[in-house]
Amino acid sequence: MSRETMTDLNQNTLIGYTDKRGTAWHYRADEQGAEPNHYAGAIPVEDVRRRLFHWSPLEADITATAVTENGVVTSPDPTRKAILRSDTGAVLGVFSASYQVHEYNEWLIKNVENLLDADLHIGSAGLLKGGAVAWVQVEMEDTIDTPSGVQFRPFLTAATSMDGSLASTYQIGAQVVVCDNTLSVALGESGAERVRVKHTARSHLRIHDVRSALNIVHQTADAFNEQVRTLTETELSRDQWAKFLEVHFAPSTDSTRALNMAQRRRDELDHWYREHEWVAPWSGTAWGALSAINTWAHHGQPVRGSRVERNMERAVTGQIKTIDQGALASLQKVLATA
């Protein structure tokens, strides 16, 4: 279960372009509060500022207090500081005095505007962990349809944190519409899809360097479209699919527990591949195998805490690319022996 309640997800996340991709999995009309959090088109920038980023991070001194037999002893710690929400006073994190706060309006809106040199078309934005983590995702207005029936939306995501769990990260990728999955743009390449800026003193974003590294959203479409074409045209027989499962979920040891766990995962993935509406239309192809792994990782794999948070962190830290590349490596082993 998500650590975020349904009320949290419906009131602290904003979802755009629902006319093109439908509602989010956590959509509950009765949990929306005073305003719906879903938008037919792009989310207005001012709504993100007003509804999510209307507060500021405050730096506070750290003081230790102890009760002794001689009375109360209070001692300040000049080497540490706390970050608080200005509206609620909630403590978001405690850090060394040199920790640099990356304020959401500047790092997730202003910096992205400078990166794109254009008005923002925001597809989603949100707060997690009570405001300690935030993201803004910028998308192209139109969904891209491939000849094989795969629909996707290229994006640039900016994410950062007030609790130290994330460096400020700018990531390009593609969202598969039918299942709301994130996939890597350059699955088989080592090119930069992600730029990270740590929360250190004097940290700042070099806009030109980041723009050059990411190649920005419009070039994502061509790269991803070519990947989809190649994978959907690569046939995968039933025997090859079975072999793929054996290779990809090989047990780490010969213990009964490891063997049983590997078999359970193979059975789960076989169900996603053959039966699930998000994957089954492409079974019999390499795309179907990759899609099964990626979709299961997003929506089926057990998770502690928040699935939304886990998926977002995987995207911006590069773990999704690692999952995708691992699946492709297993596929290549199987196809090479055909």
pLDDT at 89 over 50: yes
- Mean pLDDT, the chain, integer: 85
The residue with greater pLDDT, 58 or 151, is 58
The residue with greater pLDDT, 213 or 153, is 153
Confidence of residue 54 (pLDDT cuts 50, 70, 90): very high
Q: Residue 187 has what pLDDT? A: 45
User: Which tokens sit at 293?
Assistant: 């792994």
The pTM of the full predicted model, rounded to 2 decimals, is 0.77
Average pLDDT over residues 298-322: 76
At 260-271, the pLDDT tens digits run: 999 999 999 999
Confidence of residue 215 (pLDDT cuts 50, 70, 90): low
What is the percent of the chain where pLDDT is above 70?
Answer: 88
Q: Residue 320 has what pLDDT? A: 79
Q: Residue 188 has what pLDDT? A: 43
Q: Residue 191 has what pLDDT? A: 45
Positive or negative: CA dihedral 114, 116, 118, 122: negative
Cα distances from 113 to residues 99, 121, 151, 166, 183, in angstroms, run 25, 10, 26, 21, 24
Exposed e or buried b per residue across 129-148, where buried means at least 16 C-beta atoms within 10 angstroms of its C-beta: bbbbbbbbbbbbeebbebee
d(CA 7, CA 242): 41
Q: Residue 338 has what pLDDT? A: 66
E-strand spans in 5-150?
Answer: 13-15, 57-68, 71-85, 91-96, 122-128, 133-139, 144-145
**What is the DSSP pairing of strand 194-197 with strand 122-128?**
unpaired
Average pLDDT over residues 126-146: 86
Q: Residue 184 has what pLDDT? A: 58
d(CA 248, CA 265): 10
Q: Residue 1 has what pLDDT? A: 35
User: Which tokens sit at 308?
Assistant: 């939304």
Q: Residue 217 has what pLDDT? A: 63
Average pLDDT over residues 130-134: 91
Most confident of 17-21, 103-107, 220-224: 103-107
pLDDT at 183 over 70: no
Q: Which of 55-59, 135-139, 179-183 has the lowest mean pLDDT?
A: 179-183
For residue 267, which of 304, 285, 242, 287 has the smallest C-alpha distance? 242
pLDDT at 155 over 70: yes
Average pLDDT over residues 149-153: 84
